Amino acid sequence: MADQNGNGAKVRYIHRPNTLKMKVGGAPDSEAGMVDPVDLERARNAVREMAETYPAEVEGQLQKLQELYEAAASGSGSDRYDALVEIRDIAHEIRGVAGTFGYAGCAKFATSLFDFTRSPDSFSDAHVMVVKIHVDAIRVLLRGGRSAETGPEITELTNSLKLAISRLSTRRGR
């Protein structure tokens, strides 16, 4: 009989037959299998092909990000909040995919933007400026390709971002 904390209650271990292994052509006790190298290469090639078209695919999101930033900058209250929530959602999408296609820098900025806009209520103009720097950096990185990650524009934007965030922290500390 178990008490109210579950002490003394029955814990059961359930061992199920490994039907997945049998479905992929193995036996329950056979050695570990492997993925066909031809299939693996086909999958990698498919990702490479998608990577080549990714900047064009994401162009619409970049435009949307710019429009939303402008809406957040010119709006206030719930209008600003709604725009920032949409920005957060797009940042979430970009961060999930960009890294897969080798745009590590872009994924990093998108992740930072997503984290920054997690709770965008009562965002000031200074907060929205931080959003703008993120949006600019993502645009530069996606339009400029992977070589843009080490370019002067990104170095400048990274420094601006650090400065803008430190100013925010200083204001909070006051």
Partner 1 sequence: MAGFVYSFQKLSVLIVDDTEYMLSLLTTILKALNFGVVLSATNGQDAKRILEDNRPVAEAKDDLVVDIVISDWRMSPGDGAELLHWIRHHKSDSIKFLPFIMLTGYTEHARIIKARDLGMTEFLRKPVTVNSLVGRIGSVIERPRPFVSAPTFFGPDRRRQTLPFEGPDKRKAKDG
Interface ranges with partner 1 (CB under 8 A): 2, 6-21, 23-26, 30-36, 39-40, 42-47, 50, 57, 92-93, 95-100, 107, 111, 114
* Cβ–Cβ under 8 Å, residues 132 and 71: no
Q: Which is nearer to partner 1, 15 or 174 (CB)?
A: 15
CB of 107 to partner 1, least distance (A): 6
Six token digits for residue 139? 């645009």
Shortest distance in whole angstroms from residue 27 CB to partner 1: 9
The least distance separating partner 1 from the CB of residue 10, rounded to whole angstroms, comes to: 6
Minimum separation from the CB atom of position 117 to partner 1 (A):
13
Q: How far apart are CA 133 and CA 73, in angstroms?
A: 12
* CB closer to partner 1, 39 vs 52: 39
Nearer Cβ to partner 1, position 128 or 141? 141
CB hemisphere CA count around 171 (13 angstroms): 10
Q: How far apart are CA 140 and CA 153, in angstroms?
A: 8
Closest contact distance (angstroms) between CB of 167 and partner 1 is: 27
Q: Which is nearer to partner 1, 33 or 145 (CB)?
A: 33
3-state secondary structure 66-78: HHHHHHHHHCCHH
Tell me the one-letter amino acid at 137.
A
Longest dimension (CA), the chain: 69
Rounded Cα gap, residues 40 and 43, in angstroms: 5
| Choice between 24 and 169, CB closer to partner 1 | 24
